[in-house]
Amino acid sequence: MKKEIPILLGIITGILWYGEFFIAGMFQENQKLFFANGLKIAGVVGVAVGVYSVARQNYYKIKYNNERYYAILRVAMIFLMIFLGVISGTSSGTPFSSMFMNVYVPFQATVFSLLAFYIASAAYRSFKAKSVESGVLLVASIIVMLSKIPLGGEIWSQIPVIGEWIMDSPSSAGRRAIIFGGYLGSITMMIRIFFGLERSHLSE
């Protein structure tokens, strides 16, 4: 039954979702809402599992003094945010929102912006014209880079034109191939799951 029920669920949901494109009616609307709510509930349960997992992992870190102070800080922040959310809600102007806007937002933006430094370092060390192919890639990337900044057009008026051509023609052609390949793969996977041929999601 461990295998049969998930396969059966896959077939039934497949029929419901596929049929939705051809059959209108209240039943279809309700089943969509049912699945959408199900997704939300699964998300909430996922958060609970995540909090438990982080708390458990950090408990051992605190217990065995493995970066103890970082672990204490991490757990304290999680529970502080939960506490603030519970006592005053999450809407604008609440302590939760203040913490989110003034701590979380700058932190996340900072971590993402660190990429600029790594890209510069990596470009210096590894972006080299070692062959004809890499030379073409290098020239194309420099043109595209220059075409994206206002100064590019000032250096040579044709830089934005060439940059646009690179994006619209060779780059777009490659992207189309990737998109087609991806969608064909998705359709194949969908059919395989629908007919119970694909069982990797059942740990097989």
Partner 1 sequence: MKKILEKLKKIDRRIIYLLVFLSIIIPLLPGFDFLIFPVSPTKETKQIFDEIEGLNEGDAVFIDWAFDPSSKAELLPMFEAFFKHCLKKKVKVFIYYASINGINLGKESVKNITAMEEFNWAREGIHYINMEYVPIAADIRIFNMDVDFKGTYKKEGKIFEGVETLRDIKYMIGLSGSAYHFTHVDMQIRFNYKFGIAVTGVMGPDFVPYLQTGQITGMANGLRGAAEYERLVSDKYERNYYGSATKGMSSLTFSHLVIFGFVIVGNIVYYMDKRKRG
C-beta closer to partner 1: residue 32 or 68: 32
Burial (0-12, 13-18, 19+ Cβ within 10 Å), 165 = middle
Distance of closest approach, residue 18 Cβ to partner 1, in angstroms: 13
Restricted to residues 45-84, the positions that interact with partner 1 (CB under 8 A) are: none
**Do the Cβ atoms of 84 and 103 come closer than 8 Å?**
no
Measure the CA–CA gap between 163 and 169, rounded to whole angstroms.
10
Q: How many CA atoms lie within 13 A of 146 on its CB side?
A: 18
DSSP state letters, 98-110: HHIIIIIHHHHHH
| 151 binds partner 1 per the rule CB under 8 A | yes
Among 36, 45, 55, 82, binds partner 1 (CB under 8 A): 36
Distance of closest approach, residue 99 Cβ to partner 1, in angstroms: 10
| 119 binds partner 1 per the rule CB under 8 A | yes
| 32 binds partner 1 per the rule CB under 8 A | yes
Measure the CA–CA gap between 148 and 178, rounded to whole angstroms.
24
∠ at Cα 47 (44, 48), nearest 5°?
A: 90
Interaction mask 7-26, partner 1, x per CB under 8 A: -------------xx--x--
Residues near partner 1, by CB under 8 A = 20-21, 24, 29, 32-33, 35-37, 39-40, 43, 90-92, 97, 100-101, 104-106, 108-109, 111-113, 116-117, 119-121, 123-125, 127-130, 138, 142, 145-146, 148-151, 153-154, 164, 167-168, 171-172, 175-176, 179
